Every structure is written in C-alpha cells, then in structure tokens.
Amino acid sequence: MFQIGIYEENTIDLKKLHEFFIRLENKGPYSFKLSNFFSEDDLITHYKNPEKIKPQVIIMNIKLSTCNGIDIASKIRKYYDQEVLIVFHTNYIEYIMRSFDVQAFQYWLKPINYSFFEQKMLLICKHIYSLKSIFFPVKADGDYLFVRCADIMYIRTIKCQNSSNNIEITTKSGTILFTGTLLKCIAELQHPFYLIHRSFIININHALKIRSNYVVMNNGEEIPIGKSKTKTVKLALSYS
C-alpha cells in the first residue's frame, strides 16, 4: 500500500484525483491510502506528529490561497523529508524550473486525464519499488506496505497464537506484523541495519548506547546482543 498525500484546494480537482486513484486501484496490483491536506498547517502538523505515517508521495497544487506550493515543498525538504516524491499538479507552466530546486519528481499540468494519471502513477509505483535502500516492502494482511527504512527502529521474531505472522517491525509510529524470517529481512536491508541476535535486527541509528549484553534503543527498549555479535555492534555504534 502506498501512502499518498494530496494538497489540493480545488474540490473538483481533488475529487477527480480520488476517482482516478480508485480506478487505478481497482485495476491492480497497487493499493493506495490517501490523506488530504487543506492548509500548510495540516501538512506540517502531520509531519511533526511521530505517530503519523509519512507519505511516500505528495501531490500538490502550486497556487494556493494563502501560500505557494514551491515554498511549502522547500520547507518539507529542508526540515522534514528528503525522500518523499513531490508531484506538482497545477495550471501554471512557469514554475517548472523552480520545481527543480525542491527536487520535484513530476510536474502535471492541468487538466489531466485518466490515461496520463495512470501512466505517471505506475512510473511512481515502480520507482518506489526500486528504492530498497529507502523503503522496505513487507506483505501484511494480504497487501504490500512500504515502510521507510529510516523510521524502522528494530525488527524481531515473535510468537502469535492467533496469527501466522511471526515478524514484527517497530517504527516510530507503531508496529507492523508480517510473515517472514529475519535472515530474509537482513538480506534485503543494508547499513544501518544489523542482525545482533537470532531474534532481533536493529537500526543502529536508533541505538542510544551499548551495555555488556544489550543495546538501549532511543525508545528505552533493551535489545539483547548475541555473544558472537558484540564486537560487530560496538564497531557499528562507533561509526554511527
């Protein structure tokens, strides 16, 4: 499932985008969760809330009633999010060159039709799939979720009596259960992820300190270290 943020004040264009996403989702294989933002404060408040999942794509207009989309994108890039794919959805062609300054991924000139939308969104979905160093895809509840690697604190094996899911990802905004193995996870993840115990993978960037046989994470959780992993963890922490 892709997390999509939409900042569009024009209700007709907003409704059309929602209809296009429903149509694309019905065709498969992708699914989308849409979040609407109606002001700069809405969007910034979403980013400041650690319990909110960050969007992977933001589709926004440029000419807004109280602000400019380029300026908002600049704030997002500077303070909140370097990875989100920004798509400008606008009537104004003259902002194309300025859009490069905020690393816009695409620039859609209104009005757009469904064929154009589908072509562009499929490119975006395939691009996100390719970003394994930024997004970690997991299959949960029959759907693929793309979890930001930077938001993952640790991954562990668990025992669930009422579920076949046996892997739990803990992020800054909550937990995700899915079926898999830690060995498969670590094979797909790169630095700063380390398998430090047969039951735990940690993101070293979320580690505060190391004790004799455990690592203290920045949420206070104590993660055990396997005897053979102590040297590796100490070395990783010294370079983090």
Sequence-distant (6+) residues with CB within 8 A of 65 are 9
List the domain range (segments joined by +) for residue 228.
150-239
Tally of domains in the chain: 2
At 18, list the tokens: 């929602």
* Domain shared by 181 and 99, yes or no: no
H-helix or E-strand containing 156? strand 152-157
Ramachandran class of 51: left when φ > 0, alpha when ψ lies in -120 to 50, beta otherwise: alpha
* Domain shared by 103 and 26, yes or no: yes
Residues 60 and 6: beta-carbon distance below 8 Å: yes
Task: Give the pLDDT score at 8.
Answer: 95
CATH of the domain at 212: 2.40.50.1020
Task: Give the pLDDT score at 162.
Answer: 60
Residue 140's pLDDT band (boundaries 50, 70, 90)?
Answer: confident
CATH of the domain at 126: 3.40.50.2300
At 24, list the tokens: 């694309």
pTM greater than 0.85: no
Q: How many CB atoms lie within 10 A of CB 47?
A: 17
Choosing from 130, 159, 177, the residue where a domain stops is 130
pLDDT digits 0-9 by tens, 177-227? 888 889 989 988 888 899 999 999 999 999 988 888 899 998 899 999 988
Burial of 154 (0-12, 13-18, 19+ CB in 10 A): buried
**Residue 23 covered by a domain:** yes
* Identity of the amino acid at 177: L
Rounded Cα–Cα distance for residues 118 and 21 (Å): 9
Task: Give the pLDDT score at 161.
Answer: 62
Residue 35's SS3 state is strand
Task: Give the pLDDT score at 135.
Answer: 84
pLDDT at 85 over 80: yes
* Domain shared by 61 and 29, yes or no: yes
pLDDT digits 0-9 by tens, 34-76? 999 999 999 999 998 877 888 999 999 999 988 899 999 999 9
